[in-house]
Amino acid sequence: MNIDTLLTDIERRRAEALDRKREAYPRNNPVASDIGECQREMVLSIVHWKERPLPDEWLVARFQRGNVIENLAIAELQALGFTVRVERTPFEITDKKGRVVLRGKVDGFLEWRDETGRHEVPFEVKSMDPNVYKRINSVEDFDHFAYTRKYPRQLCSYLYGNNLEAGFFLLDDCLGHWKLIPVTLDYAEMERILQRVEGAVEAVEYIRAQPDEEAAILPAYHPNPAVCHRCWCKGRVCFPPLALAGVTVADDPEFEAQLAQRESLEADAKMFDVLDKAVKERVRGKDGLIVGPYYITGKELIVNYKAKPASTGVQWRTKIERLAGETEAER
């Protein structure tokens, strides 16, 4: 058996399986799991869904692991004696005209009884990097990170759509630790969400009826440059003015000359790094060496690393000098 052939086959099959999951789907209205901060982006995500870049294989793999962790969390809650209902049918929120303006599907409902009766409490399972996990201890803390900022809006929408007052996030750090974050329905925030999604749906209808008028119908650009900077639309279907994109135009000839010089040296710097590494590897272990006009010295150093647990290591330091006079090697 050729083990290398086997491993190559495993990698190929996994890459092909992940690639098959890189799909885009049309939308007719905003979804609760993707309520962003920009109304313009909501509209463009529906009208120009085909232009949205597909998730790469790494992101697809992360989504799959998130689903696995979600299923494990639900199974563990059930093993603790709780009844969990997994809702397969998405909820829908309609406006006064009867149009669906928001839809979504919560991960699950946990059944709980107390002195006031039986309750079904919605919850969302979120797996995240351990460093992010450590910093989130309340609903307000979700605002620390761009990709977690929308989570409270998502659960708030689920509460509103299911006519419930409270739910919770179950956070998993991918290392087996849990953290439970309570969430109560924020009516003021929900009103802002509804205004945003209703306006987006209205704009989508107008654009589909009058595609030539899209530029005039689209909502305004988001005023925060950071939101534009990380948005998939920017440079594809949305082109915010430089000022809104956080760009300052400076008239600075000296700085411009520095940037030009930096650009010209960049390729040489990369080549230097490659050659420097090759040269130092070639003379590693040699205390002294003369090659043409170059004098090379080296010595072994014991390095104490402060990381825990503490450890020591060996490094070889090399110094290369050009001799001023004629050397034996040149005679």
* All structural domains of the chain with their residue ranges: 14-229, 284-331
pLDDT in tens, the chain (331 residues): 788 888 889 988 988 888 888 887 888 889 998 888 899 999 999 999 999 888 888 888 888 999 999 999 999 999 999 999 997 778 899 998 899 999 999 999 999 998 988 999 999 999 999 989 999 999 999 998 888 999 999 999 999 998 999 999 999 999 989 999 999 999 999 999 999 999 999 999 999 999 999 999 999 998 887 788 788 898 889 988 766 555 565 677 777 777 777 777 777 787 888 888 888 888 788 778 888 877 788 887 776 666 555 566 667 788 888 776 544 444 3
Q: Which tokens go with 47? A: 């009208």
**DSSP-H helix ranges across the chain:** 3-20, 39-47, 57-79, 130-135, 151-161, 187-209, 214-217, 225-229, 253-282
- How many Å apart are CA 260 and CA 237, to the nearest integer? 31
Task: Supply the pLDDT for residue 326.
Answer: 47
- How many Å apart are CA 166 and CA 154, to the nearest integer? 13
Task: Supply the pLDDT for residue 15.
Answer: 86
| Helix, strand or coil, per DSSP, at residue 230 | coil
Task: Supply the pLDDT for residue 329.
Answer: 41
Domain 14-229 has CATH 3.40.50.300: no
Task: Supply the pLDDT for residue 293.
Answer: 78
* Residue among 99, 89, 122, 111 at smallest CA distance from 46: 99
Task: Supply the pLDDT for residue 182.
Answer: 96
pTM: 0.69
Max distance between CA atoms of the chain, in angstroms, equals 100
